[in-house]
Amino acid sequence: MGRTLPSATQTFLQEEAAFARFRRALRRSDQISLDDLFSSARQHLAAAQYASHALPFEVFLLSMLLEEHKEVERLRQLLEEHLSRQP
């Protein structure tokens, strides 16, 4: 209400929509993975808004990377636990 600029959520939805043609041409399995990436970027909309970056998509990409890295670390930890249980 009463804002001059679109909010981070609005910007995000616009950016996501801009990739509609790209998404359409992907295989179904890849589409699901792409949707996951966008969902993960949504986790950090508050931070993206606060950053007020002039190129918001860079922040969304970094958000995706952040979630991917968290996932890698989690898997790494699971693996370490698994390996440490091995005799």
Partner 1 sequence: MNTTLTGWLLDVYPNETNLTLWLIGDDGQRHRLVQDFSARLYVAGPAARLRLLWRWLEQQPIPVHLERTRRMDAFTGMQTVLAVEARQPARLDELFRGMLAAFPELTYYDADISLPLRHAAAFNVFPLAHCQVELCGDRVTGLQPLNTPWEIEPEPVPLRILSLEPDCEPAHGEPQSVIVSHGRVRYILPVHNRTQLLVGLSAELRRFDPDLVLTSWGDTWLLPLLLQASRERGLVLPLNRDESMAVVERKEHTYFSYGQIIYRGRQVQLRGRWHLDCHNAILWNDYALQGVLEMARVTRQPVQEAARLSPGTGISSMQFVTALQHELLIPWHKQQAETPKSTMDLLRADMGGMVYQPTVGLHRDVAGIDFVSMYPGIMVRFNISPEVPRARTDPSTSSGQCLEPAPGEPGIIPLTLAPLLNKRLTLKSSMLHLKRDDCRRPLYQALASAHKWLLVTCFGYLGYKNARFGRIESHEAVTAYGREALLRAKEAAEDLDYEILHMYVDGLWVQKAGCKSPEDFEALLADITARTGLPISMDGIYRWVVFLPSRVNKRVPVPNCYFGVFQDGSIKVRGIEARRHDTAPFIAETQMRLLEILARAEDAAHLGEVLPQAQEYVRRQLHRLRTGQVPLEKLLISQKLSRELGEYSSPSPAARAVRQLQAAGKTARPGQKVRFLYTLGKPGVRTWDVPPPPDPHSVDLPRYRTLFERAVNTVLTPIQYSVNGGMDDECLYLFPSVKFQPVAALLRGNVA
Q: Which residues bind partner 1 (CB under 8 A)?
A: 1-5, 7, 36, 39-40, 42-46, 49-50, 52, 54, 67, 70-71, 73-74, 76-77, 80, 84
CB of 24 to partner 1, least distance (A): 18
CB of 73 to partner 1, least distance (A): 6
Rank residues 18 and 52 by Cβ distance to partner 1 and give the closer one. 52
- Reading phi first (left if > 0) and then psi (alpha if -120 to 50, else beta), residue 52 is in left
Measured in whole angstroms, the distance separating CA 49 from the mean position of its chain's CA atoms is 14
Count CB neighbours of 27 within 10 A.
Answer: 8
CB of 81 to partner 1, least distance (A): 9
Burial grade of 30 (CB within 10 A; 0-12, 13-18, 19 or more): exposed
